[in-house]
Structure 1
Amino acid sequence: MDLGLLEDFLELARELNFSRAAEKRNMTQPAFSRRIRALEEAVETPLISRTTRQVSLTAAGKLFQPRAEAIVRALWDARAEAKEAAGLAQRSLNLAATHALSYTFVPRWLMSVAGPGQVGTLNLVSDTFRQCVRLMESGDATFFICHKGSGEGLALPEKQFAHHPVGCDRLVPFCAPGETGAPLWTLGAGSEDLPLLSYGPASGLHRILETHWAQHGRPRLKSAMSSVLASTNLEMAKAGQGVAFLPSSLAEAEVAKGALVRAGAAEFEVPLQIVIYRSRSRLSPHCEAFWSALTRADAA
C-alpha cells in the first residue's frame, strides 16, 4: 500500500474537511478525494462519512486512525534507522514550540541541556498550540514544548506520547503604567469589568486560563480583543489597550524596562509547567541521545 494514502487519510482525519486537507497535502480536491477512495477500496470498508454538511470518520475510520498513525510512524522510524546505519542520517532535531516559549525560553533551555554538537541542525517550528499538536500527531515534529496548567490534562495521548517537565512559569496579569507609574487597571480594585486582552481557542493559554478560572473563579474582566499570540497581547498591553495574562518568561524584559507593570496581586497569577513531548516509539539515535541528555540534566 502507498504510504502516502495513509498520510492523506490522517490529514483528513485531523481536518475533517476535504478542501483544507487537500491543500495541506499539496493536491487538488478531486485528486485527494480519489486517493481517499483508493484507500477505502484497499481496506475494503468506508472510512469517511461524507454528507453535504460535514465530514466525519466512520466507526471503522476511528478504529483505523491510530493503527494508521502507528504504521506511518514505524515506517518513518525504519527509514531513519536505515539511514543511520548507512551513515546518511543527518544529526537534526525537529522541535515544535508555542510562540510564547520559542522566543525566550527555548533558546536558553536548549543551550543549558545540550551544546551545538548535541543539537545538530535545529528545525524549530514556532506556531499555535493547536498546530503544534497536529505536527506531533502527523510525525512532522519529533519534540513539542508547551505550557501546561496544573488543572488540565495532557496535550497528547499518554499511550502514544511521553512527556517530561523542563521548567516552570506563571501567567501574570500585566498592563501599561499610567503617568505616575501605577498600573492603568488593577484587578479586584473596583466593581467594573476591566478590558481583557484574551487568547483565541487555538492558543494553549486560552485553555489554561479557562480551566483555572473555572476552578478558582473568574476575575471581573471583559474581552476587549482576542489573539492566538501572547506576543500580540504583550504589545497591545504596552499600548494601554487592556490587561493581558502573559507568561512571566515572555514579559520579563518589558517589565524590567518599565513598559509593563503588574495589574493584580499574586492571587490572580496562574502557575504553569513547561513540558516537552515525544513519541513513545523509538526515535533516531541522535534524538534518543538528546532525550537522554535532557532527562539527565533535569535529574541532576
Structure 2
Amino acid sequence: MDLALLEDFLELARELNFSRAAEKRNMTQPAFSRRIRALEDAMRTPLVLRTTRQVALTPAGKAFQPRAAAIARAFADAQREALEAAGRTQRSLNLAATHALSYTFVPRWLMHVAGPAEVGTLNMVSDTHRQCVDLVQRGEASFFISHRGPDTPQDLSERQFRHHVIGSDRLVPVSAPDAAGRPRWRLATDDGPAPYIGYGAASGLHAILEAHWALHGRPDLRQVMSSVLAATNLEMAKEGQGIAYLPGSLAERDLDRGRLVPAGDASHHVSVQVVIYRPRSRLSAHCEAFWQKVVRGSAV
C-alpha cells in the first residue's frame, strides 16, 4: 500500500473537510477523494462518513487514526536510520515550537543548553500548537517545545512520547495603560465584562486557559477578537483593544517599558511549564546526544 495514503487520511482526520485537506496535500479534491477510497478499500471498511453537511470519522476511522500516525512516524524513523547507516545524515535538529516561545524563549534556551556546534544545522518550525503536534506525530520534527498547563489534557500520548520540563512561565492578564499609567481595562471590576482578546482553538494557550478557568472560575470577560498568535494579541492589547492573557516571557519587555500594565493581581496569573517533547523511539545519534544535554541541563 502507498504510505502516502496514510498522510492523506491523517490530513483529512485533522481537517474533517475534503477541500481543505486536498489543498494541504497539493492535489485536487476528486483526486484526493479517490485516494481516500483506495485506502478504505485496502482497509476493507469505511473510515470516513460523508454527508452533504459534514465529514466525520467512523468508529473504524477513529481507531485507525493513532495507528496510521504511528506507522507514518515509524517509516520516518526507519528512513532516518537507513540514511544514518549509509553515512548520509547531517548533524541537524528538526525542532517545532509554538509561536509564543519561538520568539523569545527558544533562542535563549538553545544557547543555554548547547552551543552552535552541538546544535548543528537547526531546522526550526514556528507554528500553532495543533500544527506542531501534527509535525511531531508524523515524524517531521524530532522535538517539540510548548507551554503545558497542569490542568490541560495532553495531545501527545505518554506511551509514544516523553517530555522534559525546561522552563516555567505564567500567563498574565495585561492591558494598555491610560493617561495616568493605570490599566485601561481591568479584571474584577463593577463596570461589567471587560473586553477580552482571546486565542483561537488551534492555540495551546486557549486550551490551557479554558482548562484553568473550568476549575478555578472564569473572569468576567467579553471576547472581542481571537487569534492563534500571542504576538498578535500582544499588539492588539498595546493598541487598547482589551485584556490579553500573555506569556510573561513574551510580554516582559513591554511591561518593563510601560507599554503594557497588569490588568489584575497575582491571583489571576496562570502558572505554566515549558516542556520539550520527543518520541520514545530512537532518534539519530546527534539528536540523542542533544537530548542527553537537555535532560542534564537546568530549566530556565
Q: TM-score, normalised by structure 1?
A: 0.93
Q: Does 1:144 align with 2:138?
A: no
Paired residue secondary structure (2:146): strand
- 1:150 alignment partner AA: P
Coordinate RMSD, CA, aligned: 1.9
Equivalence for 2:115? 115
- 1:116 alignment partner AA: P
Matches within 5 A, 1:60-75: 60-75=60-75
- 1:27 alignment partner AA: M
1:45 to 1:200, Cα distance in 2 relative to 1, 3 A: closer
Matches within 5 A, 1:162-173: 162-173=162-173
- How far has the Cα of 1:69 moved from its partner? 2.1
Equivalence for 2:42? 42
1:55 to 1:195, Cα distance in 2 relative to 1, 3 A: closer
Report the more deviating stretch, 203-212 or 244-253: 203-212
Counterpart-to-counterpart distance in 2, 1:17 and 1:224: 27
Equivalence for 1:28? 28
- 1:215 alignment partner AA: L
Equivalence for 1:196? 196
Counterpart-to-counterpart distance in 2, 1:62 and 1:186: 44
Q: Deviations over 1:268-299 (max 9, x none)?
A: 11111111111222222222221111011138
- How far has the Cα of 1:10 moved from its partner? 2.0
1:194 to 1:13, Cα distance in 2 relative to 1, 3 A: closer
Report the more deviating stretch, 47-56 or 251-260: 47-56
- How far has the Cα of 1:243 moved from its partner? 1.4
Instruction: Tell me if the contact between 1:5 and 1:35 (Cα under 8 Å) persists in the aligned partners.
Output: yes
Report the more deviating stretch, 83-92 or 62-71: 62-71
- How far has the Cα of 1:241 moved from its partner? 1.7
Counterpart-to-counterpart distance in 2, 1:226 and 1:176: 17
Counterpart-to-counterpart distance in 2, 1:187 and 1:63: 44
Paired residue secondary structure (2:97): strand
- 1:38 alignment partner AA: A
Q: TM-score, normalised by structure 2?
A: 0.93
- How far has the Cα of 1:19 moved from its partner? 1.6
Task: Could you tell me which runs of 5 or more consecutive residues in structure 2 were left unpaired when the two chains were aligned.
Answer: none
Equivalence for 2:257? 257
- 1:216 alignment partner AA: H
Identity of aligned residues (%): 68
Matches within 5 A, 1:92-241: 92-241=92-241
Instruction: Tell me if the contact between 2:197 and 2:242 (Cα under 8 Å) persists in the aligned partners.
Output: yes
Counterpart-to-counterpart distance in 2, 1:168 and 1:261: 21
Instruction: Tell me if the contact between 1:10 and 1:138 (Cα under 8 Å) persists in the aligned partners.
Output: no
Equivalence for 2:243? 243
